[in-house]
Amino acid sequence: MANTSLHPLFRFRWMIFSILALAYFFVYFHRLSLSVVADNLMKDFNTSAGTMGLLGSIYFYCYAAMQLPAGLLSDSVGPRRTV
């Protein structure tokens, strides 16, 4: 008789996939959120478009700089432990 029991991780694969997809959407939204609220921030804090551009570029440079350590961590520790 064949063993039809699944590994416990496989039973929750759709839940894990949904959580990771939601996390990806959350990260993607945060990358775009400055452009969505830029008009309100400029009005509330009385700043110029140049200042908002500076804030956006600082954010993206920090994001780009962290890609290398995150990649090295993922390569050395493994994808399961990184996620």
pLDDT mean for each 10 residues of the chain (83 residues): 62 85 87 81 92 89 91 87 77
For the entire predicted model, the pTM comes to: 0.54
Using alpha carbons only, how large is the chain's radius of gyration in Å? 20
- Can you give the residue range of the structural domain that contains 46? 13-82
CB atoms within 10 A of CB 56: 13
Residue 70 counted as domain residue: yes
Separation of alpha carbons 74 and 77, rounded Å? 5
**Domains in the chain: how many in total?**
1
Residue 8 counted as domain residue: no
By the 10 Å C-beta count (0-12 exposed, 13-18 middle, 19+ buried), 55 is classed as middle
Residue 2 counted as domain residue: no
Residue 3 counted as domain residue: no
